[in-house]
Chain A
Amino acid sequence: MKTELSVLYDAPGPRQKKITWIGSILTLVALLAAAYVLVYRPLDAKGQFSMELWGPYVAPANENFDQLWDRLGFGLRQTLAAAVLAILSSLIFGTLLAVLRVQLRSVVRRTYTGFNLPVAYLLRGLSWTLSAVTRFCVEVFRGLPVVITIFFVGRGFPEFGISLEILWYLVIGLTIYNGVVIAEILRSGMEGLPGGQREAAEALGLSPLQTTRMILLPQSFRIMLPALISQIVVILKDTSLGFIISYEDTLNIAKQIIGVLDNPIQTYVVIGTIFIGVNYSLSKLAQYVQHRLARGRRTSPTRTGAAGTELETEAVAGTTT
């Protein structure tokens, strides 16, 4: 924040400081007045600040307080359960997919000189097809909205005679989409590594799989950690989509609460605050990690700089879905 500002402005002198102070106070007054007229007064006129609507959330004496937080707690636990399962399975699936795609890439380049001609052509064709199929799947599932994926899983699996608990439909739907995204993050991390890493590993006699597993993947995880964490925030946010296949998560519980108490604004303010608290701390963690990593890589300043800007775009892109 500091550095970015100093780029656009001169360091303020005494006069400029005074102007900034007066300007700040004036805008603050204007903002408060606008908030009072545009937000507080209409809300107050509709009686949205009444204890009748807020009571169940904030007053322990209220008759609904215990039951309501009981239900909300249940919803939150359900959301967290789905989120944790989805995060774990997306990470595992994403890593496997990334390794598979990187392996296929190196296999495609092989010419199989030791085999006789038809077998060599067959093997090359096979590996090329596999590579094309995985690429196609990645593009398709990356391009589909995660809502649609969850909906398809929830509607499609029973159609094919696979019936699971609703939780698993949600987890599978989230895993398909986010696993593919994580795979792409890890893959771009591995491909962004200096070529010398792979060459050195191969010169030591490691097999391609060993090279990926022991050399490329750990470094890719390290470089891409901020992007991975923002994708984890995305998974946590996307868990709230469970309501479209009637999973009993926080939002579904909220809907039931509103059905009884008829206080939509208060309910969504409370739930929004909870989500902001959890996700904001996760994002802060991501920033901290990025900071730590930047410090650890001080030995190669130029490359860190380039990787840094790339990461920022990745992080922006990642958090959007």
Chain B
Amino acid sequence: MSVLIDKFDVFAGGFWLTLQICVLAGTGALALGAVMAVLRISPLPPLRAVGTAYVTIFRNVPLTVVMFFAAFGLPALGSNANFLRIPVLDSVFSRLGTDLPYFRFAVIALALYTAAFVCEALRSGVNAVPPGQAEAARSLGMTFTQNLRHVVLPQSWKAAAVPLGSVIIAMIKNSALAGFFGVVGDLAQSADQLTSAEGYPFVPVAIGISIGYLIMTVPLGLLLDRMERRQAVAR
């Protein structure tokens, strides 16, 4: 068990790096997912088609394929994702500015993949708003944007919150894959490093890594369960 204390900095560092990936990819996914959701409910058919195609593609491809594409395809195109070296951000998230691009690739892949599910969660929220609300707004003479801004979207957050939360939990779990694509030092890669390269016993390392992930996922899950139960009563 001593590895848990001796190597505490490795576990803590891994936890911190995994958290960084999740925060960055989560922000990207929420932004992109919101854009896609807007596209999917827009009045113009070609824009809707773009949104639908995006969601269909990324929902049906395994994240592993997306990760592989980012890690091997982007270099083949001569891109190191340098646009993510954002000046102020990379002093907080130090990995963004490094010469090794794998952290940036992992963030891109995770954000692209998660955005499809964010879009679906947001859309299911919009769908959950009773039709009478939007109809009433229209009959008051509100335009499409006013309707969305003042009537539909404020109500859709409530229904979208729980699905969005489970999307975020799934993303945290999916981020473990980054460790197998060259991101050195996150929780998953630390498990590999400690057991195979440094020869520590397996069980304590497994416990430490598991605790690292459970700290992130279980409280969020319990929070969501509570929200769901309260909503069920409200309904």
Contact = CB atoms under 8 A, between A and B. Distances in A.
Interface of A: 3-5, 7-10, 20, 23-24, 27-28, 31, 42-43, 46, 48, 139-140, 142-148, 151-152, 155-156, 159, 233, 237-238, 240-241, 243-244, 251, 254-255, 258, 264-265, 268, 271-272, 275-276, 279-280, 283, 306, 309, 312-313, 316-317, 319-321
Interface stretch (B85-93, B95-103, B130-138): B130-138
Contact of B173 (A8, A10, A144, A280): A144
B21 interface: no
Given A7-B134, A24-B46, A145-B176, A46 B147 contact: no
Ranked nearest first, the 8 interchain pairs of A and B with the lowest CB-CB distance are A320-B170, A145-B176, A145-B173, A279-B60, A317-B166, A143-B217, A264-B72, A240-B62
Contacts of B30: none
Given A306-B235, A317-B163, A320-B167, A148 B176 contact: yes
B183 to A, nearest CB: 13
A178 B136 CA distance: 44
Given A27-B47, A151-B188, A156 B166 contact: no
Contacts of B192: 151
Contacts of B131: 3, 7
Given A143-B221, A321-B173, A42 B77 contact: yes
Nearest to B209: A148
B73 A264 contact: yes
A144 B213 CA distance: 6
A316 B121 contact: yes
Interface of B: 41, 43-47, 50, 56-57, 59-65, 68-69, 72-73, 76-78, 117, 120-121, 124, 126-129, 131, 134-135, 138, 144, 147-148, 152, 159, 162-163, 166-167, 170-177, 180, 187-188, 191-192, 195-196, 202-203, 206, 209-210, 213-214, 217-218, 221, 235
B56 A276 contact: yes
Looking at chain A's contact residues, is the secondary structure mostly helix, strand, loop, or mixed?
helix
A28 B167 contact: no
12 contacts: A8-B134, A8-B152, A46-B77, A148-B209, A151-B188, A151-B192, A152-B206, A237-B63, A241-B64, A276-B57, A316-B121, A319-B117
A243 B177 CA distance: 11
B172 to A, nearest CB: 8
Given A241-B64, A272-B69, 10 more contacts: A8-B147, A143-B213, A144-B173, A145-B173, A155-B202, A276-B56, A276-B60, A279-B59, A317-B166, A320-B171
